[in-house]
Amino acid sequence: MRFDGRVAIVTGAGGNPGLGRSHARLLAERGAKVVVNDLGVGPDGRRLIRAEAEKVAAEINDAGGEAIADVHSVADEESARAVVQTALDAWGRVDILVNNAGVGVVAGFDEITPADIWTLISVHLMGAIWMCRAVWPHLQAAGYGRIVNTTSGGMLGSPGLSIYGAAKFGIFGLTRGLAVEGAAHNIRVNALSPGAATTSFECFYTIPDRAALQAFTDSFPPELVSPAVAYLAHESCELSGGLFDAGGGNVSASYIASSAGYQNPKLTIEDVRDNLAPILDQSALSVVTDPRDPSGHLNETAAQMVPKPYQPV
């Protein structure tokens, strides 16, 4: 599966070992021209471990690929536009966006500072929004595009990751909405949660047992995540709005599902209390497919809803 003639932007691609670096190298190896974007502040945002887009771009070029470095931030609207402009100035087009940039903060909800809260939201959630906004008109005009957004298992709940998880779940919501809006323009948008031993892991976690740590490092290299990302970025991929997990050579799909529930047109508080069993029953789950109908069941009202004209403030 090749990417000849395609131009890809991979954000947060300067770390080594890093997911973005691995994604960029694989796409370039298969023929894509790649913008290697990284602000250079490292996985903690504090420059303790540097990330270098120039080095990764040089690696790709030395291997016979074609890449250029970009050091703009994704967390600012104008700066995100500059990332996209880098691709346009070099190659006159952009086809693929991999939103991988991120910084980490592992802290309890009662101890994390307001500054770190804003950093997580700005880089992860707003960074994905600004990058998608910057690339969107170009994909629409071309009638083609592939976007892969990076989520995380932390969005399902993990100690010290409440804000990070909120940002990542927001990215999934963005993915679902853009999948709907992009369908008419042949723009496919998917989300992927990676599992890999990277500089980010080294910053925030350790495994005390050396043998176990080595086993994790050996079994979960970033290179075993990138094939799933590259497939979602390929022109043959017709999937959109999906949530995938990849790590250690395993690729799976995650779903949001709804129970059959309990219905009563005269519903009371006590009805909810007394009917928790059918409300929570998992024997007849329905996978939620239509973002306009979060219940997962046929909803005639949702199907008839037409948005009113937008009134900008």
Q: Is 205 a catalytic residue?
A: no
DSSP characters over 157-186: --TT-HHHHHHHHHHHHHHHHHHHHHGGGT
- Both tokens of 95, joined, read 């086809």
CA distance 252 to 131: 26
Neighbours of 134 (CB within 10 A): 22
- The C-alpha R_g of the chain, in whole angstroms, comes to 21
CB 199 within 8 Å of CB 43: yes
Question: Peptide bond preceding 137: is omega within 30 degrees of 0, i.e. cis?
Answer: no
Comparing CA positions, the residue from 2, 26, 3, 10 lying closest to residue 222 is 26
- Angle value at C-alpha 106, between 105 and 111, nearest 5 degrees: 95
CB 33 within 8 Å of CB 46: no
CB 103 within 8 Å of CB 12: no
* Choice among 144, 164, 262, 310 that is catalytic: 164
Residue 28: phi, psi to the nearest 5?
-65, -40
Using DSSP bridges, classify how beta strands 243-247 and 96-99 pair: parallel, antiparallel or unpaired: unpaired
CA distance 261 to 32: 48
- Both tokens of 106, joined, read 């592992």
CA–chain centroid gap for 174, Å, is 9
Return the active site residues: 164
